Amino acid sequence: MGKNFSIATVSLLLLLASTNAGQVFDVKSYGAKPNGDITQVQTLFTLKTNCLESCVSRAYELGPVTLLGPCKGAIEFNLQGTLQSPSDVESFKGKDGWVVFEKIDSLTVSGGGVFDGKGQTAWQKNNCAKESNCDKLPMNIRFNFITNSIVQDITSKDSKFFHINLLECKNLQFQHVTITAPADSPNTDGIHIGRSSQINITNANIGTGDDCISIGDGNHDITINQVTCGPGHGISVGSLGKYENEQPVSGIRVIGSTFINTDNGVRIKTWPASPVGTASDMHFENITMKNVANPILIDQNYCPNKQCSNESPSKVKISNVGFKDIRGTSSTQEAVKFICSKSVPCQQVVVADIDLTYKEGGSTTSTCVNVQPTTSGKQNPPACT
């Protein structure tokens, strides 16, 4: 269990356990010291015959690490203190993740601890607003090919790039996760989900400088429930259609969530001049907006920082989308905005029981392009058809 384990200033308790019994190994007994290097005990992480529980308390620095399976049994990473990332990007030597969990079944990450990415210096080096092919900075936590697992009661703080990234995960639960970074921290998405299924995010509190949660291509059966988002750019499906061979998106649910002082609320975004793609069966229900700039948004002309050379329509087909029971305040008058593709207009868009008031007083408005939504219940702003 383990690979590329380079650590400084860390004290771990490791529990190597069979299915029936366990034994505790304190790495300090093997020569590890606070403010020291425990590379000499790396072999504890390479044992693949048993499960591994790793517990960290107090505040320690930790270099880039990959915890690599498979393991023969369940594994728990229990963090009870604070892990601090190196501040300098150079120490990552081009790696795009700080703490990486990979190819593990039945993983639990818990303990109430903090993953502190110390991203303040790195944010100053982020040039993605100017360069579409910018260098990617390391993410705080990566989950690659993780199945039947749970992440609960942890905090990700000040990541250099995305806080938590999922790649090809299945049946992964997030509960009581906190993510925090300043509103002006660039590209610090809270949780980015890529090509995964059966993902459930419940009772999370996310405030950051980009999307609180972003859902990329190839995702199915994603449920987001009771999430508080703010500051940030909202919860987004997409952006989609930037690359060739993107996979369909379907089965997205955002329920019972609250957005506070965000740039967007619930959003679907696709690039113009995109390859063919689909996004369907997406539903946003029972949501509260508090001073949100774009509470309800479909944007098929998404092109930040003028990165698009071809303005032809998006070919990502959006269908079967529901916006129901959404209320609160908008910081702009245009509270509902559907800008769909003239090449593949949005279909089966349902808007029901919307009550969004303009915080400055006066009425809110809605805009519809290349879409004819079906409406019911209260419509504030008045529905466009």
Which residues, 6 or more positions from 197, have their beta carbon under 8 angstroms from its beta carbon? Answer: 169, 170, 171, 219, 220, 221, 222
Comparing CA positions, the residue from 226, 195, 191 lying closest to residue 210 is 191
Active site residue 281: no
Count CB neighbours of 224 within 10 A: 26
For residues 24 and 363, give the distance between their C-alpha atoms in angstroms, rounded to a whole number: 64
Which residues, 6 or more positions from 63, have their beta carbon under 8 angstroms from its beta carbon? Answer: 6, 7, 8, 86, 91
Helix (H) or strand (E) holding 123: helix 120-123
The structure tokens listed for 15 are 């529990």
Exposed / middle / buried, residue 72 (Cβ in 10 Å: 0-12, 13-18, 19+):
middle
Q: Position of tokens 């509103």? A: 183
Comparing CA positions, the residue from 52, 48, 103, 99 lying closest to residue 78 is 52
Phi, psi of 314 (to 5 degrees): -65, 145
List 210, 211, 263, 299, catalytic entry: 210
Exposed / middle / buried, residue 236 (Cβ in 10 Å: 0-12, 13-18, 19+):
buried
For residues 203 and 225, give the distance between their C-alpha atoms in angstroms, rounded to a whole number: 7
* Residues facing 37 on adjacent strands: 8
Helix (H) or strand (E) holding 194: strand 191-194
| DSSP letter (8 states) at residue 245 | T
Active site residue 153: no
* 8 A C-beta contact, residue 116 and residue 154: no
Active site residues: 210, 233
